[in-house]
Every structure is written in C-alpha cells, then in structure tokens.
Amino acid sequence: MLALQSPLDMHLHLREQEMLQLVAPLSARSFAGAVIMPNLVQPVNSRDRLVSYRRAIVSACGTDTFIPYMTLFFREYTREELLAVRQDIIGIKLYPAGITTQSDAGVRDFDSIAATVSLLEELDIPLLVHGESSGFVMDRETEFLQVYAKLAGNFPKLRVVMEHISTAASLEFLERYNNVAATVTLHHLLLTLDDVAGGLLQPHLFCKPIAKTPRDRDALRQAVLQGHPQLMFGSDSAPHPRHAKECCGCAAGIFSAPVALPMLVQLFDGAGCLEALQTFVTGNAVRFYRIKPPEKMVQLRQKSWRVPEVYGTVRPFLAGQELQWSFADQDN
C-alpha cells in the first residue's frame, strides 16, 4: 500500500457543462486540488466569470476534498482588477494567440504586455505560460525560450511557470532562473513523436506541445525521477469527445485524469524512485506557489486493473492497457 499526502495536479482542463460533470469527479478522486485552465469557449477573464466557473467545478466534484485553484486568461488588466481578484486566483494564464485549443484571444504582441506583467510582479501573482512559438512544430517550445528569458530576466521577482515542458532544452533553461518552475505531464514522460505518428496515426495521443524525441522524453523522466526541485506534476488532462478526436483536423489534447496517479506510481516504482513521487506531486508545487492544500490521503495498492476504453464520450490515455497500481478503494 502506498499513501500520498494531498497530491496536486498543477495543470488541468475541466471544460464546461456535461463534460465538466463527467471529468471533474475523476480528478477530485485522485487529487486534493488542481490548477484549472481558463481557455473555455468564452475565456475566464473576469472575476464574475471566475466565480461562476469555480462554483460549477465545486458542484461537479461532489463531496470529494478538492480545491480548484483558479486562473484568469491573460489580457490587459488594471491594477484595480487584479487587486479585486488577487485572493481568488493562483495565477494568470498566458496563451500565445491561436497556439492551442480556444486560445484565439491570446497574446499576439509580446512587446505590448509589459505593463500587465509588471503589475503581476508587483502584486506577486504568478504568470503561467503556454510556451510555444508559431514556428515548425518540433521547434516551437525551444523557440519560445527567448520569451521566457525576457520575462524571467526583466521581471526577476515574477514567478513564472513554464507549462507542460516537453524538451531537454527547457530543462536546461530552468537552471538559469530561480524565479521559474515548470509542470511536466504524464504523457510527456511516456511518449515520443513515434508513438503518435510512427505507424498508423494515433489521434488520441495528439497534444500540444506535441511529444518530442526519445532524448527529450528521457531527459524529462530522469529529472523528475531524481527530484528536480523546479518540476511539478501537471497532467494537462484535456478531454475531447471521440468525434472531435477521430476526425480530420482532430483536436489537441490527451485525457489522462483517470490514469494519472496510478501510472505515475507505476513509473516511479519501476524506476525504484517511489520516494521522489511525493515531492513531484505535492512538495515542489506547495513551495513554489506558497499554498497549503487541504489534508487528503490518497491510497494506492499494487493490484492490476484494465483502463476502460471510454469514459462517457471520451477515450482515456492508455485505454485498454493493464496498469499495475490502482486506488485502494477501486473495484477492478
């Protein structure tokens, strides 16, 4: 039996309405809290929108102990707006315009954002960034490092989170700045581009940033297993109905919420590094974000189970595969 104290998912998509009702309980079962992404059809970019969305999430999670750490979609905010919402958010999420799902309202000119970023630094509100350029898909994350360098260097007291990093170059960048941390997904610890497109195309493994090379995957895995202090778990679990994935122009996103914690345990256990898992799923996030998550003990046992082919309308990551660890109260 393994007990994890207040595990956290520091990057999560819960969507809205029926999809929210389907997926939120799966994360609430596994985690004590999660950082909720704001890129809905109508972005969460005001306090009213944020309060309404948080209320819907709490309702969908039922009686499970689970805190939705809310974010606002980046735009030009006034000092008064940020002061009014400061206690309701864990950070502001910045998307380059058009780079991923429902990000058309994102930033188009990074030279124009200094005033808002300066306010975030002054008010000690973290900036969470989807770090990709619009260049060649395999180079986008590395090309974006120059933007991170300007943010971290020009605003040294600003806490910056590089979301869902997928390259060895991003790891090397982290070593240069104490005010920067990064989230790492389960799928970027397991997949390479060959898994996505090396044989028949696997649309349910298509995500942004796209899975990279074996060298990138192995560098991320080694850093996480060795307890890198600037790395936090963020699933980037992003559900889409099957008809939106199994089609021309399929949506980007991997739905990993049901398997994230059991598969992480399996990965760390297989590498003989179980002692590092608590830091990855709780400790580093608590320290960087300066939060105190609710008390919640999540127990897992070494008993195999087969991942369902679908949850409602959504095909999960590792569908049909047998995992070696399950939740202690799980009916197999």
- Considering the candidates 88, 236, 329, 331, report the single residue annotated as catalytic: 236
Q: Exposed, middle or buried: residue 66 (CB in 10 Å: 0-12, 13-18, 19+)?
A: buried
Which tokens go with 96?
A: 């380059």
Report the distance separating Cα 111 and Cα 287, nearest Å: 30
Q: Is 236 a catalytic residue?
A: yes
- 129 vs 104, 126, 148, 157, CA distance in Å? 15, 10, 9, 16
Which tokens go with 142?
A: 């590395």
Q: 93 forms bridges with which residues in the sheet?
A: 73, 128
- 47 vs 14, 43, 77, 111, 116, CA distance in Å? 18, 11, 11, 26, 16
Contact status, residue 21 vs residue 195, Cβ threshold 8 Å? no
Contact status, residue 96 vs residue 61, Cβ threshold 8 Å? no
Report the distance separating Cα 295 and Cα 7, nearest Å: 10
Report the distance separating Cα 144 and Cα 129, nearest Å: 10
Assign residue 252 a region (left: φ > 0; alpha: ψ between -120 and 50; beta: otherwise).
Answer: beta
The catalytic site residues sit at 236
